[in-house]
Amino acid sequence: MEYRLERAVASFPLPYNSDGTIYREYRFSREVRDFCEQEALDPKAQLRVAKCVVVGDIGVGKTCLINRFGYNIFSNNYKATIGVDFDVQRFKILQLPFCLQIWDTAGQERFKCITSTYYRGAHVAVVVFDMSNVNSLSSAKKWVDEMLTSNAKIKPIVFLVGSKKDLVSPSVQEFIENEAIKVAQQLEAEYWSVSAQTGENIEDLFTRIAVLTFQEVIWREIEAAENEKRAADEKNKSVINYSDNFVRRKKSSCFGKSKCFSFKCFKCFKTSKK
């Protein structure tokens, strides 16, 4: 069993198929790079952790996928439940440490639905189907719908993953991929074909998941910082307006000249109202 401490991501990972994605950037944006550069200099910078949930029909290969990525192992004899809720994998992206919490269902999908606690706060969802069983692809929409109703606040990034690529011939693969890409487009998801048995595309898939999720987390922080700045600017502006008014009103004062009842005069207006 292999355990890797941290994966340093050197370059922006590409999608599996450019038609099967809605995420079309091919590099980190300048704002994200600048923000991360500043954060990397800050010794008190927080550790960023994102939640990744894995869903799909029973037996499609979710647990094998997670174990191949996390520990580089594959076994035909997994129990349905692995006993822990999630696994943590560490990355270093743009010089910042980043953790992906990868949640396995622990057998709940047996009952065709998963509790909302599982989905709560998920940044990314991996919807798995079995390329050797086309029926499991038709369940993908159901899993996405269930997740969105349970976790409606912010829509997570969605990956549609065809597993067991090693079991299908090239012609079946082509057919399934065309179908799956159409489904991915409907679901606004990104499509990948992988095999946990051979390990094909597993590292690339999770690196892509980590980078897109990291970028999303950073964008949310940039937005929050901008909103905070805007609110502070608004507050300052209202203080300035208030003091402006005061100066204007002060200027129209008669400075206590006798018998002044001018409504324009700040002091006398107050006096005449008494």
Q: CA dist 43 to 37, 174, 215, Å? A: 12, 49, 21
Task: For the segment 189-208, give every residue that binds Mg ion (CB under 5 A).
Answer: none
H-state helical runs in the chain: 30-41, 62-71, 116-119, 135-138, 140-150, 170-187, 202-251, 266-273
Please calculate the CA angle 226-230-234 and round it to the nearest 5 degrees.
Answer: 170
Structure token digits, residue 184:
């991915």
Number of chain residues interacting with ligand GDP (CB under 6 A): 17
The pair of three-digit structure tokens given for residue 52, joined into one six-digit string: 């990744």
Site for ligand GDP in 167-206 (CB under 6 A): 167, 195-197
Residue choice 36, 60, 100, 126 for contact with ligand GDP (CB under 6 A): 60
DSSP 62: H
Q: How far apart are CA 274 and CA 269, in angstroms?
A: 9
The DSSP line for 210-234 is HHHHHHHHHHHHHHHHHHHHHHHHH
Question: Within 10 A of 12 (CB to CB), how many other CB atoms are there?
Answer: 16
| Closer by beta carbon to Mg ion, 63 or else 163 | 63
Contact partner at residue 13 from ligand GDP, Mg ion, none, CB < 5 to 8 Å by partner kind:
none
Tell me how far, at minimum, the Cβ of 82 lies from ligand GDP, in Å.
9
Toward ligand GDP, which CB reaches closer, 48 or 164? 164
Shortest Cβ 174–Mg ion spacing (Å): 28
Instruction: Identify residue 99 by its one-letter amino acid code.
Output: C
Task: Pick the closer one to Mg ion by CB: 48 or 62.
Answer: 62
Other CB atoms within 10 A of residue 144 CB: 22
d(CA 256, CA 267): 7
**CA distance linking residue 81 with residue 109, whole number of Å:** 11
What residues numbered 140-169 form the site for ligand GDP, per CB under 6 A?
A: 163-164, 166-167
Q: Which of residues 33-62 bind Mg ion (CB under 5 A)?
A: 62
- Contact between 113 and ligand GDP per CB under 6 A: no
Q: Which residues pair with 163 in a beta bridge?
A: 130
Q: Which of 76, 169, 171, 258 binds ligand GDP (CB under 6 A)?
A: 76
Q: Could you say which of 35, 48, 60, 63 contacts Mg ion (CB under 5 A)?
A: 63
Taking the complex as a whole, how short is the minimal distance between the CB of residue 79 and ligand GDP, in angstroms?
A: 8
- Residue closer to ligand GDP by CB (options 196, 205) is 196
CB of 30 to ligand GDP, least distance (A): 39
Q: Smallest gap, in angstroms, from Cβ of residue 61 to ligand GDP?
A: 3
Residue 62 engages ligand GDP in binding (rule: CB under 6 A): yes
How far, rounded to the nearest angstrom, does the alpha carbon of residue 64 sit from its chain's CA centroid? 23
Beta carbon nearer to ligand GDP, 96 or 127: 127
> Which residues are at the interface with ligand GDP (CB under 6 A)?
56, 58-64, 76, 78, 163-164, 166-167, 195-197
> Which residues are at the interface with Mg ion (CB under 5 A)?
62-63
